Amino acid sequence: MGEKSTQKKRYILETARKVFMEKGFKKVTMKDIVEACDISRGGLYLYFESTNQIFLEVLKLESEEADDVFSDSIKEDATAADILLLFLREQKKELLRRKDTLTQAIYEFYFDNSLPKKDNVLKKQFDSAVKIIEKLIETGVENGEFLCEDCKGTARNIMFVLEGLKISAQTIGITAEAVDREILFILRGLGVEE
């Protein structure tokens, strides 16, 4: 598969991504993707053999780009509290976008695909996020920004709350105010008064 095909593959993945955002994972058929990409039925099979495979590759692309975004958005002189707040606001934005997100598709995908740990991108992301937040809180505690006895536990708690907010956003619906309330609760728990 030459360079040209790599471009097309990428085009398909980006188009499929939109389809997954719209319809979740399960409802999406090869035909949906074929039509969204405006290519031929057989053409898609030259690149991918199932929605499953396509979704996995979409996720891979996603995580690669996510990493870039992360490192970019942190200023050099930012305090731990700044960064945490930035992170939480980013999550909030994502949460409230709702349909315009892969969240639902990702959940649906993992419902059916109990991948071995090493392939579970979701778990990797969760764990790495916990570690980053933990570091952040530790730094904040050292700088006197945060009060916290169990940094790891708090980091984990924050991530589970975020997961809870995410799934709630997709199911029972959630308002910006509700998210703010939770963010505030978290910050207060770290002794941040504002």
Partner DNA sequence: CATGAATGAGAGTTCATTCAT
Partner DNA sequence: GATGAATGAACTCTCATTCAT
167-170: long-range pairs with CB below 8 Å, 24+: 167/107, 169/95, 169/96, 169/98, 169/103, 170/98, 170/103, 170/104, 170/107
Cβ distance to DNA smaller for residue 34 or 158? 34
Q: Considering only residues 92-131, where is the footprint of DNA by CB under 7 A?
A: none
Residue 126: partners with Cβ closer than 8 Å, 6 or more residues away: 159, 163
Question: In this complex, which beta carbon is closest to DNA, that of residue 42 or of residue 144?
Answer: 42
Contact call for residue 39 and DNA (CB under 7 A): yes
- Minimum CB separation of residue 136 from DNA in Å reads 42
59 Cβ neighbours under 8 A, 6+ residues apart:
102, 106, 109, 121
Q: Which residue from 45, 70, 111, 160 is in contact with DNA, where contact means CB under 7 A? A: 45
The verdict on 50 binding DNA (CB under 7 A) reads: yes
How far apart are the C-alpha atoms of 185 and 158, rounded to whole Å? Answer: 10
Determine if 51 is a binding residue for DNA (CB under 7 A). Answer: yes
Q: How far is the CB of 153 from a copy of itself (least distance, A)?
A: 5
- Out of DNA, a copy of itself, none, what residue 143 binds, judged by CB under 5 to 8 A for its kind, is none
Distance, in Å, from the CA atom of 99 to the CA atom of 141, rounded to the nearest integer, reads 37
Helices then strands, counting H and E runs in the chain, come out as 9, 0
The residues of the shown chain that bind a copy of itself, judged by CB under 8 A, are 24, 26-27, 104, 106-108, 110-112, 114, 117, 120, 122-123, 126, 150, 153-154, 156-157, 159-168, 170-173, 181-182, 184-185, 188-189
Would you tell me which residues interact with DNA (CB under 7 A)?
A: 1-2, 4-5, 8, 29-31, 39-43, 45-47, 49-51
